[in-house]
Structure 1
């Protein structure tokens, strides 16, 4: 079979709006069956391989020397945007965080906070996280039976958790929310018109705007880092600010990258899974009744909600040498798209993958990635979700959709953007 993906399928892969409906899953289903490692060629993008099977995504994720994160953009990027980023930063990346690193740097930087995010350390945060969850449930109960769950609850709760962990003042919540949306919401429908205008700006004006954005957050995070170096506390900001790599203090750029990835990756992805799970309950009164009757099923519900939503839809890797993979000849420097949402619907791994089921044991979902780059905050995310639903379910009697559930337009981080609900709560 030809390695080239049909044009109509390839265009779906680069259409942000396709990730807001079933078109992307229709494309993934065809690719898994007919061209599981195919080459997409779309005007305005460098060609890239599209990896859609669970087993192949796992294989690439384990071979970190052969498939790098940092050599090219880790997210699908238009040629014009890639060129502009390289001109501004001298690299394919706006920031340099764990996501953009490979060995030998990646394991060194990951080790800085690995113990902080271990299951044992995260468990110590449970009382604080549960208190925040209870606070959000109290707010829901006071909303007169109606809310937009995404805007009113799902965005704020994980952000509050992350800000507590980082030691960021709650007065700065709007700024942290803006950071998350600027980084992860770049293809969303609300920003498409703005992005088109930015693309038409002369290169020097675009560079000034981006540099101002980067300088703003670098200045903000470096103010926090300076304070923690003088007055270290028991928060994650102190760990990052006082980090030492190869005998040298962490640089401002890499400290900013660390702050940024913790603040953003720990927020938007969890809020998407939270809203995705809530959307399922609104569609399934029988499931709600089952969970209320048996709260021991909540961890399985959380794991399935993560698979079901798969907030991080895609990540990119770059081949470091010529290689044969899944019957294809991959050349050195080739770009590969790992389609986690496809892997999480792979019929070879999941029975009835388009059904939400609590009996998936083990649930081999790939939403947190795999291998050396598996999400360092996965245990925290699970605890946040589990705590929230454990606080909510005893108090909720009924939940129904009150309008259309809408999704973000993004090929990177994607989930509900609007979830209007009608609630009956005690």
Structure 2
């Protein structure tokens, strides 16, 4: 059993905001207890999967390790009990692709998968470049100082995914606010109440946020059924599985996952990339001198930030991983930041290498549940950096960067910078 101190650290939102405590905890576990059980205060026990190879092994066996049987993210006992009361026994407040197993997962994923394949995204490339230039212009107009995370990093990926989804630009601030409330429920700067919340108050706030999302997307569904368009919302609103319309709850959850994960993770990664350039002038100079490094720089920022910190899996049968016996029903935490710092896979893993090759990180998942929007995220980040670096002459920090307080999805919430642009 993992020590109580380390167990508490790896679920503590404040530890992720500080980053070093979590990095040190996972480094210790990779060396001393790479696959072991933890029972943080207030949680059921779970296995902590810290090694890159073990994360891949669990992810590739999606029939043996389910997403939907128990909570798919770290959930305290009291919250899990309350959610099951509210949801009639289900551990999920939403039922998106994240909470589904086959055959539902495959059927629902197939509906929109084509939208996010590289060959389809080629059609969007010129439009994405236009959007990127708007935000680069916006940065240029800010007089050489901005909080990149709050002023630019948040809004560029938001605008991209909302255009793909089909949400009007006027509603983007509302979508951003709701996303931050959903993923930042532990962070007083981001949650609905603007204060530190206990588990129960946090759950109520998240319920309210989900309710607001559902109200909004009910309206979108009605509109797209009347007047379908060339957008993902029309696919969801009019989609069918086995000749039947989508289950309403699953359809609403589908909208929510696209509208939130579709930009929040990319925002964190883009802001993390800017922090690297501001802190490490040698990397900035290399990218300026050789723009062909941008794709590998993007890949390394994804590894470096790892915005999704974990997902949970549940064993559907007795099994064995790394010599440890797992019982049917056991809960497993896939610790992505740990897998992405695994010394056996990544040379000098705590150093940012803009030309790291190969870069087999697990930040976007693996196997059946690999991120459906991975190609769009890479494309929009590559285009943004290409457009910005051609105009950015200098960049440095102008204050202390801050990370959000969350143990599920988190990254830079403030990256104050000073810069010169053409």
Q: TM-score, normalised by structure 1?
A: 0.95
Instruction: Give the root-mean-square deviation of aligned CA atoms.
Output: 1.5
* Alignment check: 8 A CA contact 2:181 2:206 kept: no
Deviation per CA, 1:295-338: give whole Å up to 9, x if none: 11100100001101000011111111111221111111111000
User: Which whole-Å deviations, capped at 9, do the CAs of 1:249-292 have from their partners, x for residues lacking one?
Assistant: 11221111110000111111000000010000001111111111
CA distance in 2, matches of 1:10, 1:120: 44
CA distance in 2, matches of 1:282, 1:394: 16
- Residues 295-334 of structure 1 correspond to what in structure 2 (within 5 A)? 295-334=291-330
Please list every run of at least 4 consecutive aligned residues from structure 1 whose deviation after the TM superposition is greater than 3 angstroms: 191-195, 209-215
* Distance of 2:32 and 2:3 partners within structure 1: 11
Q: Aligned pair in 2 of structure 1 residues 297, 99: CA closer, same or farther (>3 Å)?
A: same
Q: Which residue of 2 aligns with 1:13?
A: 10
CA distance in 2, matches of 1:119, 1:302: 16
C-alpha distance in structure 2 between counterparts of 1:286 and 1:337, whole Å = 36
The aligned counterpart of 1:79 is 77
Q: Give the equivalent residue in structure 2 for 1:159.
A: 158
1:213 to partner: Cα distance: 3.9
Give, in angstroms, the shift of residue 200 of structure 1: 6.0
Note if contact 2:145-2:418 (Cα within 8 Å) is conserved in structure 1.
yes
How far, CA to CA, are the matches of 1:198 and 1:273 in structure 2? Answer: 28
Is 1:231 the counterpart of 2:227? The answer is yes
Preserved CA contact (<8 Å) 2:15 2:22: yes
Count of aligned pairs: 418
What is the distance in 2 between the residues matched to 1:97 and 1:122? Answer: 23
Deviates more, 1:354-363 or 1:185-194: 185-194
Contact kept? 1:180, 1:267, Cα under 8 Å: no
Counterpart-to-counterpart distance in 2, 1:200 and 1:158: 30
**DSSP 3-state at the match of 1:317:** strand
CA shift for structure 1 position 378: 0.1
1:34-64 CA deviation, whole Å, 9 max, x = no partner? Answer: 1011110122101111000000000000000
Matched residues in 1 for 2:47 and 2:35: separation? 6
Counterpart among 14, 34, 49 of residue 36 in structure 1: 34
Aligned to 2:260: 264
Q: Equivalent residue of 1:262, what SS?
A: helix
Q: Is the 8 A contact 2:188 2:195 kept in 1?
A: no
TM-score, normalisation: structure 2 = 0.96
Question: Gapped runs of 5+ residues in structure 1?
Answer: none
Alignment of 1:377-416 (within 5 A): 377-416=373-412
Equivalences for residues 17-28 of structure 1 within 5 A? 17-20=14-17, 21-28=19-26
Structure 2: 5+ residue runs without aligned partners?
none
Greater CA drift, 286-295 or 26-35? 286-295
> 2:33 & 2:139 partners in 1: Cα distance?
46
Question: Counterparts of 1:237 and 1:409 in 2: how far apart (Å)?
Answer: 31
Deviations 1:59-82 (A, max 9, x none): 000000110000111110111111
Q: Kindly report which structure 2 residues correspond to 1:79-118, keeping only aligned pairs within 5 A, or say none.
A: 79-90=77-88, 91-118=90-117
Among 353, 370, 389, the alignment partner of 1:357 is 353
Does structure 1 conserve the Cα–Cα contact (< 8 Å) formed by 2:67 and 2:313? yes
Q: Contact 1:189 / 1:408 at 8 angstroms: preserved in 2? A: no
